[in-house]
Structure 1
Amino acid sequence: MTRSAEGVGDAVLFFRYTCEARGLRHPDDFLAKYREAAARLGLQNADEPAPKTVEGWLYEGRKPQRVFRPVIVEMLGHGIEALWTEVPEGTAQQFVPLAGASPTAPHADAGVGLDDMKRTGAMAVRRAKEFLLGADRERVGEDTLGLLDDEVQRLVAAYPREPLSVIWDDLLETQEQVFRLLEGGRVRPSQLRDLNVKGAMLSFLVAKGFNDMEVPHQAMTMTRVAAACAKDAEHPGLIALTYGLKSLIAYWADRPEDAYHYAGQGAATAADLRGTVGLWLLGLRARAAAVLGDEETVRAINQQAADRREHVVHDDLDELGGLFFYAPEKQLYYAVEAEVLLGHGDARLAAQAEQAVQGFSDPSSPSWAFGDLAGSRCDLALVRLFGGDLDGAAEAVRPVLDLPASHRNNGIVVSTMRIRHALMSSPARTAAVAQDLRAEIEAFPVGRPALPRG
């Protein structure tokens, strides 16, 4: 059981616990890492706390001023509210961050030596991959396909969990390797379908990346590449998925008519499929219908999706996971969002919205995704705001506003801006909490979302 850390006395804050685990016991050590985090955020001449201020954070439980919070979140990978929570005596408290739960992220400062070893090791692995891919000059060998299998599975699993900047280069490189093999004329007929499936999956992820970077034209072009590969592979599930991705791109680009149209095409394509892709397309269609204000269609589609969930038989895409599996918690999140877009905020929907957030509360779950957790929190904030609970809305969105800039993709930014628009038309818009929250949201996208550095 934990409680707020304001005036905690001798209790140990998770902030201090995390700093000490990383060897940051002195303000000078802390400030060195603080400057590195500020540089990663692209903050030139960033405000820097005084050593005495850092000591107050570490040893007196003082909360940092808002100007310092984005850098601290980037530095430690946890939201401010989580960091300023007590760690129960004698235990290692388990926190649920919106970011920083990547299976590949270091949990402590590994030191320069280890960083150098990892960097030179990665270069060796890259060179070995190039050797293997070039060795099969006459034909594509099974080792090459196995290597690509491993890489595709890794990237599919990592995409919802990692900031785009971490995987972008590997994603583009692996796609290029698959295209090179397809163009090289060294592929056996039995290997052709497999490579086209990989090409479709990788192009799907690259297209999603462009959408997260708010480049809808490039995202749509790459989706058409994914669709071409899926058709060459004669894979109905992947073909349906590409329609879904077109709908998703249109939805976040504020083109609900197109989003509804593409989702309908995909749903027709997936009508006879038993996997979860058909459910995703129904969810996409319901959300688009909600933006269009068609409440009757929203209810009918969501009911159809609920009925269909009971008859799902997982297919090869579901087994792959990541963005290719539409989990029950994601279905609930989409259903809640459709109701929110219609402007609803009753007690029943509030309970469902809280359940959707809870569904993404365990970072060890295969279906965990920082974007879905952030989106479900934004929906919960809107439900509470529509229901007149301004403080509850602020509490729900707080961890989202604490996200480091590397995780602020287009969907998250758009979702937070919906809260800002709702605040402006709320009866409570003149309240101090509403004005402060609106100002924070306006500042949130300034660092720009999730762009690969360089």
Structure 2
Amino acid sequence: MNTVFDALVIEARMDFRSFLAEYRRVAALLYERTGDIAFRNVVLTDKSFTRWRAGQVARPHHPAPAILERMYGKPVDELFAPCTDEQAQVLRAVPTPVLDERELAMTARDARAHAADAASQLLPDLSLDQLEDDLVRLVRANTTTPPHEIFMAAKELLGLATVMLDRTQLLSQRGRLYVVAGQASALLGACAFDLSSMPTAVELMRASALYGQVAEHGPLQAYAHGYLALLYYWGGNPAQAVRQIERAHSFQGVGATGQARLAAIAARSYAHLGRTAEAHAAIDRSLADRGPAVDDLHDGIAGEFDFSVERVAMSNSTTLLLLRDGVGAEASARRSLELIASQSSASTPLAVAPQAGADLATALLMRRDLDGAAEAMRPVLSLPREWRGAGLVGRVNAVRAELASPSFRDALVARDLAEQIDDFTLVAAPRTLGPGAVRLAIDGEIG
């Protein structure tokens, strides 16, 4: 159906671009006259223009009617009414516009210019390859490099990833960069936790989860939400930790290593809540045969993202201590230390053995073996200050709490060990960067 509006547009030989220019000009005049903000930045799409011409809209919304009436000097209802026979004859008499060579050349130049602009917003694949390689090396170095050094290097990689995101519009490249940004954020969050900056760690892990969501990367999202669970139970909110674990289990593509990690974290969350049966069931899941399922984060990159059997045993020893199962905790801590001692590589993080040692000492104190606990703490207390992260300090403080038992009140070994622990925590890793340094180090990096 031809409308009066369509007839007037054809008669004036206007295309969408020329019509839009006139439409905006009239809208600006009406804004100056009325002050109605609706006229200031009017929006009209090619699709709406086509529907108006075809008579598919009875009456457009404000401010379109006022603009059209000003443009054509007719009420809008008349403009969208079917055209008369006389107007139809006029339409048939209007010749079909013929494109000349200049118009064709202009269209080609516009297309070429737009394509060139799009091509300029690509990154060399080699640059992305290098960034990903640097990230992998850093994640793997985290097992043998102090957290404050990893933090500064990961901060630089996150900055590079965000800069590169601004320089490419290619979806495949942006997807890779979002994954790198998420991995760097996760690494930063783990370091922030070691440095006892809990709010910073939570913020960075949330950023990691969001990057993983944008990239649709299940293992990264599972890792971030699992770490958030860990942060929540360390922060005294085990109920929220359980919810984070449930969320982590919803993501696809997580291999057996990642599943074992989530099970170990779940066990600790349940233990904090006193849900003994569920904690033991989660421990059993963490120890199950892992099978062939792998993913590119926990198994491919590994390093900080790995969760080896010795780490599982160490984590479970802490869980069993929370359940006051000293026998089980001792066996699990010894299992972790035995596995570490049997390793010929440096793949196990240097902090795992001290954490298992501290758990072993606590378990031994629960059965009043003071000399055995002091022996277990010997290598722990000799650890350099940069490796005394929050997780280890928490376990060492658990040993200190056991030493406060009336059973050890008059024991010289207990007093000496307590003093050594006080000296140990006084110069722990969280003090390495100084007050507020972690917070300042990431300002402006997380959008």
TM-score range, shorter chain: 0.5 to 0.7
Please, which of 309, 328, 339 is the counterpart of residue 309 of structure 2? 328
2:426 matches 1:446: yes
How many Å separate the matches in 1 of 2:271 and 2:324? 9
SS of match in other structure, 1:170: helix
CA distance in 1, matches of 2:121, 2:174: 15
Output the TM-score relative to the length of structure 1.
0.65
Alignment deviations for residues 196-242 of structure 1 (CA, whole Å, 9 cap, x no partner): 11111000001111111111111111111111110111011111111
- Mapped to 2, the partners of 1:137 and 1:443 lie a distance apart of 58
Secondary structure in structure 2 of the residue aligned to 1:365: coil
CA distance in 1, matches of 2:190, 2:132: 20
Letter in 1 for 2:180: K
Deviations 1:334-358 (A, max 9, x none): 2222111212222x64333212112
Q: 1:301 to 1:363 in 2, by over 3 A?
A: closer
The answer as to 2:355 corresponding to 1:372 is: no
Aligned counterparts of 2:273 and 2:232: Cα–Cα separation in 1: 13
- Mean alpha-carbon deviation: is it higher for 327-336 or for 421-430? 421-430
Aligned match for 1:179, one of 133, 146, 162: 162
Measure how far apart 1:183 and its partner are.
2.5
| 2:244 paired with 1:262 | yes
- Offset at 1:415? 1.0
Q: Give the gaps of 5 or more residues in structure 2.
A: 1-118, 435-447
Q: Which residue of 2 aligns with 1:49?
A: none
Give distance in 2, aligned partners of 1:430 and 1:179: 59
Find the partner of 1:167 among 127, 140, 150. 150
Tell me how far apart the structure 2 counterparts of residues 250 and 161 of structure 1 sit (CA, whole Å).
Answer: 26
SS of 2:408's partner is: coil
Give the drift of 1:145: 1.0
Contact 1:377/1:400 (8 A) holds in 2? yes
Q: Following TM superposition, by how much is the alpha carbon of 1:250 offset from its aligned partner in structure 2, in angstroms?
A: 1.8
Per the alignment, residue 272 of structure 2 pairs with 291
SS at match of 2:196: coil
Identify which of 409, 415, 427 aligns with 1:429: 409
Distance 1:138 1:248, change over 3 A: same
Query: What is residue 395 of structure 1 aligned with on the other side?
Result: 375
The answer to which structure has the higher helix fraction is: 2
> Is the counterpart of residue 245 in structure 1 residue 208 in structure 2?
no
**Structure 2 vs 1, CA of residues 169 and 273 (structure 1 numbering), >3 Å: closer, same or farther?**
closer
Q: Deviation of residue 306 (structure 1)?
A: 2.7
Residues 254 and 294 in structure 2, CA contact (< 8 A), matched pair in contact too: no
Among residues 255, 258, 272, which one is paired with 1:274 in the alignment? 255
- 1:451: Cα distance to partner? 4.8
C-alpha displacement of 1:269: 3.3
Q: Distance in 1 between matches of 2:163 and 2:379?
A: 42
Alignment of 1:8-27 (within 5 A): none
Q: Which amino acid aligns with 2:249?
A: A
Q: Secondary structure at the match of 1:430?
A: coil
* RCO comparison, higher one (Cα < 8 Å, 6+): 1
2:377 partner letter = V
Which of residues 284, 289, 294 is equivalent to 1:303?
284
Deviations for 1:253-292, whole angstroms, at most 9, x for unmatched residues? Answer: 233232232223213436x733321211111010122122
Deviation, structure 1 residue 365: 2.7
Q: 1:177: Cα distance to partner?
A: 0.2
What displacement does 1:312 show? Answer: 4.6
8 Å Cα contact 1:321-1:367 kept in structure 2:
no
Q: CA deviation at 1:247?
A: 1.1
Distance 1:244 1:293 in 2: 19
Partner Cα separation in structure 1 for residue 202 and residue 177 of structure 2: 21
Aligned residue runs from structure 1 range 80-99, under 5 A:
none
- Matches of 1:429 and 1:160 in 2, distance apart? 38
Amino acid of the structure 2 residue aligned with 1:287: R
Displacement of 1:395 after TM fit? 0.8
Larger Rg: 2
Q: Is the 8 A contact 1:321 1:366 kept in 2?
A: no
User: CA separation in 2, counterparts of 1:331 and 1:354?
Assistant: 12
CA distance in 2, matches of 1:138, 1:315: 31
CA offset digits 1:82-134 (Å, max 9, x no partner) = xxxxxxxxxxxxxxxxxxxxxxxxxxxxxxxxxxxxxxxxxxxxxxxxxxxxx
| Alignment gaps of 5+ in structure 1 | 1-135
1:222 aligns with 2:204: yes
Q: Which structure 1 residue ranges, 4+ long, deviate > 6 Å from structure 2?
A: none
One-letter amino acid of the counterpart of residue 329, structure 1: E
Aligned residues of 1:223 and 1:246 also touching (Cα < 8 A): yes
Residues in 2 aligned to 1:378 and 1:406: alpha-carbon distance in whole angstroms: 17
2:23 match: none
**How far off its partner does 1:362 sit?**
5.8
Cα deviation for residue 426 of structure 1 reads 5.3
Residue type of the partner of 1:225?
A: A
C-alpha deviation, 1:408, in angstroms? 1.2
